[in-house]
Amino acid sequence: MNKHIYLITSILILSSSVLFAQKACIRGVVKSNKKSLEGVQINVLGLNNAYFSDANGNYLIPDLPVGKQKLYFNLFEYEEVVKEINLKPNDTITLNIELSPITSKMLDEVVVSGTMKEVSKLKSPIPVEVYTPALFKKNPTPSIFESLGMINGVQPQLNCNVCNTGDIHINGMEGPYTMILIDGMPIVSSLATVYGLSGIPNSMVKRIEVVKGPASTLYGSEAVGGLVNIITKDPQSSPKLNTDLSGTGYGEYNADIATKLKVGKASTLIGLNYFNYSGRYDENNDSFTDVTLQNRASIFNKWTIPLKSNRSANLATRYVYENRWGGETNWSEVFRGSDSIYGESIKTNRFELLGNIELPRHFILDYSYNYHLQDSYYGTTKFYANQQVAFMQLRWSKTFGKHELLSGLPLRYTYYDDNTTGTKGLSGINAPSKSFLPGIFIQDEWKSSEKLSILAGLRYDHHNEHGSIFTPRLSFKYSPNNRNTFRLSTGNGYRVVNLFTEDHAALTGAREVQIKNNLLPERSWNVNLNYSTIINHKSGFIGLDGSVFYTYFTNKITGDFLTDPNKIIYDNLNGYAVSKGITLNTDLSFTNGLKFMLGATYMDVYQTNVDQSNNKVRAPQLFAPKISGTYAISYTINPWQLSIDITGKVNGPMYLPVVPNDYRSAKSPMYNLMNLQLVKKMENGLEIYGGCKNLLNFVPKDPILHPDDPFDRPGGKYYLQNGTPNPITNPYGYAFDPSYNYAPLQGIKAFLGIRYTIK
């Protein structure tokens, strides 16, 4: 018996030794366009070691286990190649690989915002951040406004807890300093800055480009603190059909449907979006809706028409209708404008037209027009306004040796009228605001060598009220090799006065606007040093992008909310304002399907005013956290076609608009808005996704001051007959104020959606 056991054991040991010795190897050459590539990184799925090609492109991977093996070939600026091969014992297989120059990855995406012409992101002298819908799908939202919260240093800020007005802050600067473009044209401003952003559906977006720092040299007024350029989808490259339907546990429903058609030689894209939220939730028990109720529909249509000599023309139109209201939970349409039950009701009609035509001799004609009508009530205060913005620009670009010249003749006309004193002259007769802003700009990008390029630009604008305005800029890009890039940029920005943007906060609540003097255009100077690099590691890549920024503002228009709780006092700052800090973004990608996108920003934003005694008084900027960050962690389980996404935003303490003797804290706590999503890809273009938003269930406390008397009624419980605060029931003189906002008022909520795509 023992002999048999010994024999079996010997056979098993011998067999295992034979099997262990059954190894294979793979060798070959890696080339691109017949050129041998050195330093190509080769990873084998499941093995920790990384292998590299030599100076002649040769590589060798010895002692590979038999069976199916998956190999990854990576080199910066080249598309990744993945090969699967079945190895037999003692195989020596020759596997030659051809890598294609990178064309679609993040590092070589085409951008236009920095120089107003198509250039690869890697070669752009202006640091441009590019974000595609792939990022926003990790935390699906019904509008661009909410999606922008996933971008480091960019903060969608709600300015009212009743009507949910909002704007976009870049590096701590308020919304009026951020220019919002659609396909490079300034059609989102003033009225649309407050409400129009929530009406831009994600379904029409091809990518979003963000430039932090002044960009007035190319784009004129409003590009003082930075710009967000929303590039819409190209009909020729869009899927035949794209459908995205989703809903949340709070009863928010969103539908996006887009289809592409071919009409003769032209291509057209038609997109429909519908969003509805009818939930009267009041989880903080202040008798007010936590989130405005909304009913919104939009239709988007874009055409690409081929012309002679490989030229083309683009034309796009969009119509948006929205009916939203927030207020006391028992409010209904019959109380609109009345003084019995408080509500803020905003009805919006908006039409947009934009396009461009490629002309002979390197000319391009850009044009856009938008009409925005707002019919609203804030309690008993009626606000009725319409705005029209027409824009036309003739661009010319030409390359002369090492110089790339760009020049343009822009013209912008803005018509604005409302029913407030803002558009009435001294006689009290209605006088709509009409502004003409013609200009001229020229820019030269000089590529002095393969490593160094210099960009210089100058713009002149003439405003019909403010006169001549000059805005220069200068940038340097230095790339010692194809993995490291330094960019140094400086420039000037300006913003002309827009009364609606300045006084909108007065419409909600009971504050009165007071404008001390004739407001002058704001100016800013910015310096930005940017560094980006790519680092190979044995299991993938690490991308790093960091910037140090400093922006100095003069003539800054400030709203004083603190001197008088019943007023907002606007004036040009008798001093200066500063936004400075450092921001860092990193992308980590591993061959096992794990990806990290992490961003952090530290900033110090403040204003220094010179008082009547000639003393300098420093005040921090509201809604500008010193520390903030974003994260997106993704893992894909390939055999199951299942993706897991954890996304979120962290905000440190920020100063908030409090009133004298306010019982609420003047600074918010640090908080983390975390989201979880699971995505299951099915066959035939079907995708199911779901998860939870605000996973940690963070909700601000007491967002509305004095919600029990929103009309501030004279003779009521809290006010004497002459309108002064009752010293017994309202000893601190509180007035209704919904501006204390720093985070969403909805707690944890589930969401579920389905996507269907026919490519």
As to burial, measured by CB atoms within 10 angstroms (0-12 exposed, 13-18 middle, 19+ buried), residue 411 is: middle
Task: Provide the pLDDT for residue 144.
Answer: 83
**Would the pLDDT of 16 be above 50?**
no
Closest by Cα among 397, 433, 398, 437 to 417: 433
- Record the pTM: 0.81
Instruction: Please give the C-alpha separations between residue 128 and each of 120, 125, 528, 619, in angstroms, as whole numbers.
Output: 10, 9, 12, 31
pLDDT class for 19, splitting at 50, 70, 90? Answer: very low
Strands (E) across 664-738 are located at 671-681, 686-693
Q: Give the closest residue to 385 by CA, choosing from 624, 212, 190.
A: 190
Cα(249)–Cα(277) distance, integer angstroms:
11
| Per-residue pLDDT at 65 exceeds 60 | yes
pLDDT (0 to 100) of residue 106 = 44
Q: Is residue 364 classed exposed, middle or buried when 0-12, 13-18 and 19+ CB atoms within 10 A define those classes?
A: middle
Q: How does DSSP classify residue 147?
A: H
Is 50 exceeded by the pLDDT of residue 200? yes
What is the pLDDT averaged over residues 59-64?
Answer: 89
Could you tell me which residue, 483 or 31, shows the higher pLDDT?
Answer: 31
List of residues 6+ apart from 553 with CB closer than 8 A: 224, 522, 523, 524, 573, 576, 577, 578, 579, 607
Sequence length of the chain is 759
d(CA 637, CA 644): 8
Kindly list the structural domains of the chain, giving each domain's residue range(s) and its CATH number in brackets, ordered by start.
Answer: 2-98 (2.60.40.10), 106-703+738-758 (2.40.170.20)
Percent of all residues in the chain with a pLDDT value above 70, rounded to a whole number = 87
- Closest to 292 in 3D by CA, of 147, 165, 479: 165
Classified as helix, coil or strand, 703 is coil
Average pLDDT over residues 292-321: 92
Burial of 539 from C-beta contacts in 10 A (0-12 / 13-18 / 19+): middle
Q: Taking residues 693-706, what's their average pLDDT? A: 93
- Under the banding of pLDDT at 50, 70 and 90, the label for residue 497 is low
How far is it, in rounded angstroms, from Cα 698 to Cα 186? 36
Lowest-confidence segment of 1-15, 40-54, 90-104 by average pLDDT: 1-15
Residue 721 pLDDT grade (very low, low, confident, very high; cuts 50, 70, 90) = confident
Q: Ranked by mean pLDDT, which of 47-56, 204-213, 299-308 comes out on top?
A: 299-308
State the pLDDT at residue 674: 97
Q: Per-residue pLDDT for 369 more than 80?
A: yes
**The two structure tokens encoding residue 129:** 């951040």
Q: Measured in whole angstroms, how far is the alpha carbon of residue 278 from the centre of its chain?
A: 27
Q: How confident is the model at residue 463 (pLDDT cuts 50, 70, 90)?
A: confident
pLDDT for the residue 438: 94
Reply yes or no on whether the pLDDT at 202 is more than 80: no
Number of other CB atoms surrounding residue 484 within 10 Å: 14
Distance between CA 667 and CA 653 in Å, rounded? 6
Tell me whether residue 637 is exposed, middle or buried, using C-beta atoms within 10 angstroms of its C-beta: 0 to 12, 13 to 18, 19 or more: exposed
Average pLDDT across the chain, whole number: 84
Strands (E), 401-501: 403-418, 433-446, 452-463, 467-481, 484-495
pLDDT of 310 higher than 50: yes
pLDDT given for residue 611 in this prediction? 77
H-helix segments, 617-742: none
223, 388, 194, 498 alpha-carbon torsion, rounded to 10°: 60
Q: What's the pLDDT score for residue 303? A: 94
Give the C-alpha separation, 621 to 400, whole Å: 46
pLDDT of res. 1:
47
Cα separation, 619 vs 197, whole angstroms: 29
The confidence score (pLDDT) of residue 559 equals 67
| Per-residue pLDDT, 14 | 40
β-pair type (567-572, 512-515) = parallel
CA end-to-end span of the chain: 68
pLDDT (tens digit, 9 = 90+) per residue, 658-674?
Answer: 988 999 999 999 999 99
pLDDT digits (tens, 9 = 90+) for 374-431: 999 989 988 888 889 999 999 999 998 899 999 999 999 989 888 876 666 545 677 7
Q: 369-406 burial, b if ≥16 CB within 10 A, otherwise e?
A: bbbbebbbbbbebebebbbbbbbbbebebeeeeeebeb
Asked which of 292-306, 414-428, 611-625 is least confident by mean pLDDT, the reply is: 414-428
Q: Answer whether 69's CB lies under 8 Å from 61's CB.
A: no
Q: What are the residue ranges of helices labelled H in 208-314?
A: 216-219
Are 230 and 205 in contact, with CB atoms under 8 Å apart?
Answer: yes
pLDDT of residue 21: 47
Find all residues with CB under 8 Å of 642, minimum gap 6, and list them: 636, 678, 679, 680, 681
> Of 76-80, 136-140, 205-209, 680-684, which range is least confident?
76-80
Rg (CA), the chain: 29
What confidence score (pLDDT) does residue 564 get?
A: 67
Residue 508 confidence (pLDDT):
47
- Checking 478-481 for CB contacts under 8 A at 24+ apart, the result is 478/451, 478/452, 479/450, 479/451, 480/451
What tens digit of pLDDT does each residue of 230-273 get?
A: 888 888 888 889 999 999 999 999 999 999 999 988 999 999 99
Is the pLDDT score of 37 beyond 70?
Answer: yes
Among 91-105, 336-350, 373-387, the range scoring the smallest mean pLDDT is 91-105
Say whether pLDDT at 58 is over 80. yes
Cβ neighbour number for residue 164 with a 10 Å cutoff: 25
**Alpha carbon separation from 293 to 163, 627, 752 (Å, rounded):** 9, 32, 20
Are 146 and 291 spatial neighbours (Cβ–Cβ below 8 Å)? no
**574 or 374, which is more confident?**
374
Is the pLDDT assigned to residue 695 strictly greater than 90? Answer: yes
pLDDT score for 117: 59
pLDDT band at 8 (very low <50, low <70, confident <90, very high): very low
Q: Which of 553, 588, 740, 570 shows the shortest CA–CA distance to 656? A: 740
pLDDT of the residue at 182: 85
